[in-house]
Amino acid sequence: MDSFLIKGGVPLHGEVQISGAKNAVLPIMAATLLTAEPCVIRGVPNLSDVKFMGQILTWLGAKVGIEGDTVRVHAKKIKGQGDYDLVRKMRGSICIMGPLLGRLKKARVSLPGGCVIGARPINLHLKGFEALGAKLTIQSGYVEAEAKRLVGGAMFLGGRAGSTVLGTANIMMAASLAEGVTVIESAACEPEVVDVANFLNAMGAKISGAGSPTITITGVKELHGAEHHVIPDRIEAATFAIAAAMSNGEVTIKGARADHLHAVIDKLEEAGVVVERRGADMIVRRGKKLKSSDVTTLPYSGFPTDVQAQMMALMTLAPGISIITERIFESRFMHVSELTRLGADIQIEGPSAIVKGGRPLSGAPVMASDLRASAALVIAGLAAKGTTQVNRIYHLDRGYENMDGKLRALGARIQRVDES
């Protein structure tokens, strides 16, 4: 099992290119199941999750080719059941259910896996499928859906923690081949949802309102093949921005799409980080001194839960008290105990973490618990004195393309080692 060895204390300098968005490319790959014609997706990051999704599509009968950052999928003939051993590896695999139901009017998909960051139920997905006329059963670890015909209708997809990104994408995909008009209220507004809608529209779907809380889908009889370029990953861009500030360096983040990062940029600037926007790029550096800042995670366009751990790492260096409140997932503070191993002073009180910042960090062995916690520990290691070993970095490979290579190109002293 691989680990990262990081010798901290080196400011990052240079340019880094942001890869395609993981949270957009997975449902877009799934959407290729909606047509018997070939599809081409460009700007695809080289991630283990992308490879898993390619294996799932292949299992379902599609021909999948990956060359560089281009994925070609031809799902001429497909079956309606996802393999348990593949689907269980990542939560994003549930997004094959909408396309299978839309095209075949039936689907049998294993309940998905993924990071251990608290309950992430798929009840809103199922609620949407039922609203389209599907009959659902859950047994032996599988969700089965079947419908003689899918018929559009109005539905509300708001949940306890807000709207559902994958659920919105899933329903959009199924509804694209349903009869009549589907209206999703309390739809997720994330840029990744817009990107999925843009791909579906390129395939011949009729979707309007993506990016707003109300999405309207007018069903069509069939979809055709299409080409699409995936948006850049706003979470990767935010991670490198925080890494630049944490290491006291200056990094040009190319393809960052600042228009997708308003809440993150606002909090970074509040914390004393200088962010210059230059077209699609951002130049990030630490100001004269870091300042404490309170952060609450919210659905888009609020501060993203996927940047909470990284922001917490930065606040360990900011003098004063920062309060970071998690409103999306109830168990997303598993990185706190590992940051304290590096010398951070953090206390958890209910949904909030109280960070007493300003103390220097020192290297130590730490254990990654999930994807974004891994990123937080890596960037904390960049600022820590001495050597930090981040174990179980397979989480990172799920969501960050060549993170160690990109950091080395910026001057970081980081190497991947095999601990097996």
C-alpha angle 283-343-291 in degrees, rounded to nearest 5: 40
Q: Which residues pair with 218 in a beta bridge?
A: 181, 206
Are 101 and 14 contained in the same domain?
no
Are 199 and 123 contained in the same domain?
yes
Structure confidence at residue 221 (pLDDT)? 98
CB atoms within 10 A of CB 405: 10
Are 212 and 284 contained in the same domain?
no
8 A C-beta contact, residue 181 and residue 217: yes
Which one of 206, 229, 252 terminates a domain? 229
Q: What is the maximal distance between C-alpha atoms in the chain? A: 64
Are 180 and 84 contained in the same domain?
yes
> Tokens for 43?
């700007």
Are 143 and 256 contained in the same domain?
no
Number of domains in the chain: 2
Structure confidence at residue 112 (pLDDT)? 64
Structure confidence at residue 91 (pLDDT)? 66
Options 39, 95, 115, 189, the catalytic residue = 115
Alpha helices by DSSP H, 140-292: 165-175, 191-202, 234-246, 262-270
Are 148 and 98 contained in the same domain?
yes
8 A C-beta contact, residue 104 and residue 150: no
Cα–Cα distance for residue pair 137/126, rounded to 1 Å: 10
Cα–Cα distance for residue pair 252/416, rounded to 1 Å: 24
The enclosing domain of 205 has a CATH number of 3.65.10.10
Cα–Cα distance for residue pair 15/406, rounded to 1 Å: 9
Are 406 and 278 contained in the same domain?
yes
Are 219 and 252 contained in the same domain?
no
Domain that holds residue 97: 22-229
Which one of 229, 259, 285 terminates a domain? 229
User: Global pTM?
Assistant: 0.95
Are 343 and 373 contained in the same domain?
yes
Which amino acid type is present at position 110?
S
C-alpha distances (whole Å) from 257 to each of 278, 311, 379 are 10, 19, 21
Which one of 229, 244, 263 terminates a domain? 229
Q: Is 89 exposed, middle or buried (0-12, 13-18, 19+ CB in 10 A)?
A: buried
Are 91 and 47 contained in the same domain?
yes
> For 27-55, what is each residue's pLDDT tens digit?
999 999 999 999 999 999 999 999 999 99
C-alpha distances (whole Å) from 388 to each of 3, 4, 236, 382 are 10, 8, 21, 8
Cα–Cα distance for residue pair 250/383, rounded to 1 Å: 14
3-class SS of residue 57:
helix
Structure confidence at residue 88 (pLDDT)? 66
Mean pLDDT over residues 317-332, rounded? 92
Are 260 and 342 contained in the same domain?
yes
Mean pLDDT over residues 287-309, rounded? 96
Cα–Cα distance for residue pair 219/81, rounded to 1 Å: 24
> For 108-130, what is each residue's pLDDT tens digit?
888 765 444 334 468 899 999 99
Structure confidence at residue 66 (pLDDT)? 96
Residue in 344, 268, 351 with CA at minimum distance from that of residue 303: 268
Mean pLDDT over residues 94-117, rounded? 81
Are 267 and 387 contained in the same domain?
yes
Annotated active-site residue 115? The verdict is yes
Structure confidence at residue 156 (pLDDT)? 96
